Amino acid sequence: MKKELVSGLPKLWAHHPAERLECPGCQYPVITRIVYDVIDELGVEGKTILINSSACGYGIVLTTSMDAMFPNHGQGIDVATGVKRLLPDCFIISFGGDGDVAAIGAGAFVNAGQRAEKYTLIMVNNGHFAMTGGQLAPTTLMGQVTTTSPEGRGPDMGYPARMPEMIATVQGVAYSARGAANTPANFLKTKKYVKKAFQKQIDNVGFSFVEFLSACPTGWHMTPQESIKWVEEKMIPALPLGEFKDVDTLD
Amino acid sequence: MGERLFVIGNEAIGWGALNAGCDAYMGYPITPQNETTEWFAKEFPKRGKVFVQSQSEVGSINIVFGAASTGHRVMTSTSGPGWGLMQEGMSHLANGELPCVISLVQRGGPGAGTTRHGQMDYLSATRGGGQGGYKNIVLTPASVQETHDFVQLAFYLADKYLNPVIVMTDGLLGQMAEPLELRNLDFDPLPEKDWAVRGRENHPDGVRRVVTAMQGLMPTPPHPPYTGFLDLLKVLNEKYETMKESEVRYETYLIEDADLIIVAYGYTARVSKESIKTARKEGLKVGMIRLQAVWPFPYEIITEMASKGPRFLVVEDSLGQLIEDVRIGVQGKTDMHLLGALARHDPSDGGMILPDSVLNEIYRLMK
Ligand SMILES: Cc1ncc(C[n+]2csc(CCOP(=O)(O)OP(=O)(O)O)c2C)c(N)n1
Ligand code: SF4
């Protein structure tokens, strides 16, 4: 039987998890670990440059010994473009939040796809701006209470952004998917999405993108268990998991 | 002697960058500097160099951030509204201590202003127009040749100080054609860019590199660049003070016996020189301090000359920005006057400060 690592530390994890800065039950470390594992499996650690512009997710650059960058909120996509264009042989991962990618970085997001930039973007969607105190994000669900939608998001505030579906319509995009880690099965499926996205970069096909639905118990004022349930019962029905684009050539 | 061309200032920026060994350009079209973007689109890809037409000037400056982090020489160019959009990114480049060159071809403002010349971004260029009070060298050429040469100088200074450097011209210098000699200038050797990200396997010591716009805020082990915020401020301050001491650049023209000293840069310095020649023929003792860099500013020469008695006339195509620095230098020791954008010869966007206007002001002050 082929073994999949579902517990224990990934090789590229340089510190003990207790040193992490996220809240207990936060899923940022889970996606961080998927990213590390897949980098390890593909053997590209030495040529990887990790670029984080998510806010609560900065542990991804702190917890490893790979080359890393930490630009400001909203800038990880353009910064990754600059790095990849100058170092086309390096393996570039841009790691962002939903505010980061779907709000302030949305123009960069669409245009990186349109220019067929050859790197991978991962967007961690926790449904709000966590670091700044839980404000509405473009991805916030209908009815979801945030500090700037105190009565819940209504139609007057628009509708949740579906980033993988949107970018799948762009010709320069090689791969687009949405995953979650609310169950071991989804964890493993999401890991496959990440691996496929990374492979598109290695094969130099085009822009590759994976959204990750991520529980934020502190920001959502829930216990970790409740927050996982919320991902399952609220987020996944509104933002379905799956692959939206998977091509080997852009023509 | 190097190859000679007849080109406009906006193209000279490209030739200067090429001769400086620039590897990448990213930019977004805006008048009056489109010829720079187009020059790079034409000349860079065929040489195996990187050209990116970004989605906005926010994009340009952030792509520059990424590209500069790899240790390559990179630049962007813009004007007016695009310069406004770049301010946040300029500040991050300063925080991250990333060398790069920004060519700023000034146009009229505020707002979309005009698509022609102007000298209205002096304060935002020299005062760290973005957040947080950073500083950057601003070189101000006054000819096509000097534009080419100063772009090379800018790349050297950026690498020397690990800081963005601005080459600031204006729509007139950008659009004006003059002979250009392509030449490689000599500079002192620079240290290796050992800090650049390249992937850990490409670092001889096998230790990872971290580049961030959050120096002082975030420790990034195992490379904590600064242990705390104050640590960062001390390092930046020392760097800025060294630049102030070492990078003052100006040219004097007939100031020794002058009763009136003009202070100007860029196109208005070219114009003023014409007026000074005419005035001198008529026996009027006028001279000029032409600024080749407006940050750091040559306060000392201004103070020294002001205390000898001649009056000062600032000629700048704005409502008065450079004059604020001249006032600091003059220290109230002598009279000073402004000939600004209100003295343009024509009410349309093509209006400029002509030699006649400067000459009339000289007459008004001296006769
Ligand atoms: C230009 C700019 N605007 C605003 C901020 C403040 N800010 C920091 S993080 C953040 C929101 C982050 O949300 P997201 O990207 O979803 O990450 P999360 O906090 O959820 O991890 C904001 C608005 C900033 N740093 N820079
Ligand atoms: S606030 Fe939310 S996203 Fe941020 S660390 Fe805590 S649980 Fe994670």
Q: How do residues A109-120 score in pLDDT, each as one tens digit? A: 999 999 999 999
Contact in structure between B355 and B274 (CB atoms under 8 Å): yes
According to the 3-state scheme, what is the secondary structure of chain B? Answer: CCCEEEEEHHHHHHHHHHHCCCCEEEECCCCCCHHHHHHHHHHCHHHCCEEEECCCHHHHHHHHHHHHHCCCCEEEEECHHHHHHCHHHHHHHHHHCCCEEEEEEEECCCCCCCCCECCCCHHHHHCCCCCCCCCCEEECCCCHHHHHHHHHHHHHHHHHHCCEEEEEEEHHHHHCEEEEECCCCCCCCCCCCCCCCCCHHHCCCCCCCEEECCCCCCCCCCCCCCCCHHHHHHHHHHHHHHHHHHCCCEEEECCCCCCEEEEECHHHHHHHHHHHHHHHHCCCCEEEEEECEEECCCHHHHHHHHCCCCEEEEECCCCCCHHHHHHHHHCCCCCEEEECHHHCCCCCCCCCCCHHHHHHHHHHHHC
A114: how many CB neighbours lie within 10 A of its CB?
Answer: 15
A61/B59 CB distance under 8 A: no
The whole-angstrom separation of Cα B101 and Cα B73 is 8
- Cα of A247 to nearest chain B Cα, Å: 24
pLDDT tops 80 at residue A8: no
Q: Is A207 helix (H, G, I), strand (E, B) or coil?
A: strand
Handedness of CA B251, B254, B260, B264 (dihedral sign): negative
Instruction: Please name the CATH architecture into which domain B250-366 falls.
Output: 3-Layer(aba) Sandwich (3.40)
The 10s digit of each residue's pLDDT in A13-54 is 876 655 667 899 999 999 999 999 999 999 999 999 999 999
Mutation target for A interface from B52, B75, B90, B200: give the one with most A CBs within 10 A: B200
Contact in structure between A210 and A184 (CB atoms under 8 Å): no
The 10s digit of each residue's pLDDT in B209-260 is 999 999 988 766 665 678 788 989 999 999 999 999 999 999 999 999 999 9
pLDDT tops 80 at residue A140: yes
Which residue, among B9, B20, B328, has the nearest Cα to B183 in the 3D structure?
B20
| pLDDT at site B228 | 83
| pLDDT at site B217 | 83
B90 touches chain A (CB under 8 A): no
Tokens 């609310």 locate to A182
Grade residue A12 by pLDDT with cuts at 50, 70 and 90.
confident
Fold of A17-144+159-246: Rossmann fold (3.40.50)
| pLDDT at site B224 | 64
Instruction: Report yes or no for ipTM above 0.95.
Output: yes
Cβ neighbours for A197, distance < 8 A, ≥ 6 positions apart: A120, A122, A175, A177, A208, A209, A210
Q: What is the CA radius of gyration of chain B?
A: 21
| pLDDT at site A13 | 84
Mean pLDDT for all residues in chain B? 96
Tokens 């689109």 locate to B41
Residue of A20, A52, A54, A56 to mutate, ligand 2, most atoms within 8 A of C-beta: A56
Q: Where in chain B is the domain with CATH 3.40.50.920?
A: 250-366
Burial of B191 (0-12, 13-18, 19+ CB in 10 A): exposed
B200/A78 CB distance under 8 A: no
* Chain B positions in Cβ-Cβ contact with residue A87 (cut-off 8 Å): 70, 197-199
Question: Taking the domains of chain A in order of start, what are their residue ranges?
Answer: 17-144+159-246
Which string of b and e fits B158-170 if b means at least 16 CB within 10 Å? bbbbbbbbbbbbb
Residue of A132, A135, A163 to mutate, ligand 1, most atoms within 8 A of C-beta: A132
Mutation target for A interface from B60, B91, B197, B201: give the one with most A CBs within 10 A: B197
| Strands (E) located in A81-200 | 91-97, 120-125, 128-129, 135-136, 173-180
Low-confidence ranges of chain B (pLDDT < 50): none
Which residue, among A151, A202, A212, A147, has the nearest Cα to A178 in the 3D structure?
A212
* Chain B positions in Cβ-Cβ contact with residue A78 (cut-off 8 Å): 54, 58-59, 62-63, 65-66
A131 touches chain B (CB under 8 A): no
Fold of B4-181: Rossmann fold (3.40.50)
Residue of A56, A131, A220 to mutate, ligand 1, most atoms within 8 A of C-beta: A131
* Chain B positions in Cβ-Cβ contact with residue A90 (cut-off 8 Å): 198-199
The whole-angstrom separation of Cα B277 and Cα B287 is 9
pLDDT tops 70 at residue A106: yes
Contact in structure between A82 and B68 (CB atoms under 8 Å): yes
- Cα of A29 to nearest chain B Cα, Å: 17
| pLDDT at site A11 | 81
Q: Where in chain B is the domain with CATH 3.40.50.970?
A: 4-181
The whole-angstrom separation of Cα B59 and Cα A106 is 11
The whole-angstrom separation of Cα B83 and Cα B74 is 17
Contact in structure between A56 and A248 (CB atoms under 8 Å): no
| pLDDT at site A7 | 63
* Chain B positions in Cβ-Cβ contact with residue A36 (cut-off 8 Å): none
| pLDDT at site B221 | 64
DSSP 8-state assignment for residue A200? H
Atom 25 of ligand 1: nearest residue by CA position: A73
Cβ neighbours for B211, distance < 8 A, ≥ 6 positions apart: A69, A70, B69, B96, B98, B195, B196, B197
